[in-house]
Structure 1
Amino acid sequence: MQFLAQIIVDRLERPIGQVDPHGTHVMAIFMCQNDPGMCDEWSPTAGGNRALLFPADTLQAMPAPEADSDEGVLRLGAVNAVSLVSLPSADYFGAREEWGIRSGNSLRDVLGQLGGRPDWLQDDETPSCPDCTRPMNLVAQFEEGPDHATAMNFGGCGTAFAFACGLCTRAAFLWQC
């Protein structure tokens, strides 16, 4: 499984009156890259992808890997960092276009949204929690990215969706193209 993203989830949506004892969580998202397109990684339940939730207070930072002994340089490969821009648009694709017009940047530079409602490319595929069977809440929606070296593979110009159940602290990940 290839690591795709890590998201800090400040508060999982829970039923009114219930408090999450752990507070902040970290969602880690992975997708099969063994034979891209052949692992059913678009499905939230087929096993070709995985989203996991961890209570943030139980995690520890890992030490940096050893530097290359020949050159003494630590190489991380291609990585991306993002900045958060908030727009008042009612839907994700509308906000994405508004950002492109305002900033003068390519829409491919938008990497997604945090929370809100999913803007599906096909039919609504909101997963149900495997424990309580309630529909899960959107944590993030992802675009593939602007650079081939760092792009995630969601079937070529696809969009991915990460969900969580705050009641059961379960997560799911899927994509559409």
Structure 2
Amino acid sequence: MQATLMIYNGTAAPDADVLRTGGVPLAPARTTWPMCGNTCGGPMQFFAHLPVDYGVLSVFVCQNDPGACDTHDPVSGANRVLLFPSAELVPVAVPEEGVTLLPAVSAITTAVVTLEPEEADEDGLPPDAYDLARGGWKWEPGELFGKQREVLGSLGGSPSCLGDDRLPECPSCSGVMEFAAHLEEGIDRRSAMNLGGDLGYVFVCRPCSQGAFLRD
């Protein structure tokens, strides 16, 4: 059993084409900044640039009036995940108004964690690879906690502690979307994405080039 953790790795240029949170989104030319379709109608905040083997995922979440727009629901209009091809991407023009950028950029490196097979828990549920890998990151015997704040999420695998009824459907083909990534809030206040203490989930439908985000 394995999990590919995303680990904080210092800072990066705001337009770097690397795994990062914060900075500015990279997209094909003439791409416009996503606007909130839930309540406020303002520009959403850019959370993460995630290059993956099938393209680039850009994650946006509305932060103009935290709590006013429903960022838990993947179809509320307050979240957007855009999937772009990897080539010929340029920085997207940042709107002059609204809460659009994180105060700091966090570079991300990946670490593949191999876990010993575990039996189902007392409720009969299978082991949660992400939860186990995150909880054990740099944990040493005798310590109460490891370096869990360094973990900014994970790529691929299965969504942690998310029921089947929360899995989003693709708006184009109505199929259940593929899980792409977890997102954690961040290592400190300046770089943190406002997830209200929740875990963020990124989903994608590759054939339809559609994405979705939710909190839980």
Q: TM-score, normalised by structure 1?
A: 0.76
Q: Is the 8 A contact 2:183 2:201 kept in 1?
A: yes
Identity percentage over the alignment? 42
- Counterpart in 2 of 1:32? 62
For CA contacts below 8 A with separation 6 or more, give which structure has more relative contact order: 2
Amino acid in the other structure paired with 1:132: C
- The 8 Å contact of residues 186 and 193 in structure 2, kept in 1 or not, is answered as yes
**Residues 128-163 of structure 1: CA deviation (Å, up to 9, x unaligned):** 1111111111111011112011111112x2100111
**Counterpart residue number, 2:37:** none
Say which of 137, 143, 161 aligns to 1:99. 137
Deviations 1:18-62 (A, max 9, x none): xxxxxxx11111111111111101111001111111112242357
Asked whether the equivalents of residues 73 and 215 of structure 2 are also in contact (C-alpha less than 8 Å), the reply is yes
Q: Matches of residues 15-164 of structure 1 in structure 2 within 5 Å? A: 25-60=55-90, 77-89=103-115, 91-101=129-139, 105-120=146-161, 123-124=163-164, 125-155=166-196, 157-164=197-204
Q: Tell me which protein shows more strand as a share of its residues.
A: 2
Instruction: Find the aligned partners of 1:143 and 1:77 in 2 and give their Cα distance.
Output: 16
Q: Where does residue 33 of structure 2 map in the other structure?
A: none
Stretches of structure 1 that go unaligned for 5 or more consecutive residues are: 12-24, 64-75
> Segments of 4+ in structure 1 off by > 6 A?
none
Distance in structure 2 (CA, Å) of the matches to 1:159 and 1:130: 23
Q: 1:3 aligns with which of 46, 65, 88?
A: 46
Partner of 1:19: none
Aligned to 2:6: none
Q: How many residues align?
A: 149
Task: Give how far 1:98 is off.
Answer: 2.2
Q: Which amino acid aligns with 2:212?
A: A
Taking a change above 3 Å as real, the CA distance of residues 51 and 151 of structure 1, as seen in their structure-2 partners, is same
What CA RMSD, in Å, does the superposition of the two structures yield over aligned residues?
2.3
Give structure 2 stretches of 5+ with no counterpart: 1-43, 94-101, 116-127
> For structure 1, which segment, 48-57 or 89-98, has the greater mean C-alpha deviation from structure 2 after superposition?
89-98
- Once the two structures are TM-superposed, the CA of residue 106 in structure 1 deviates from its matched residue by 2.3
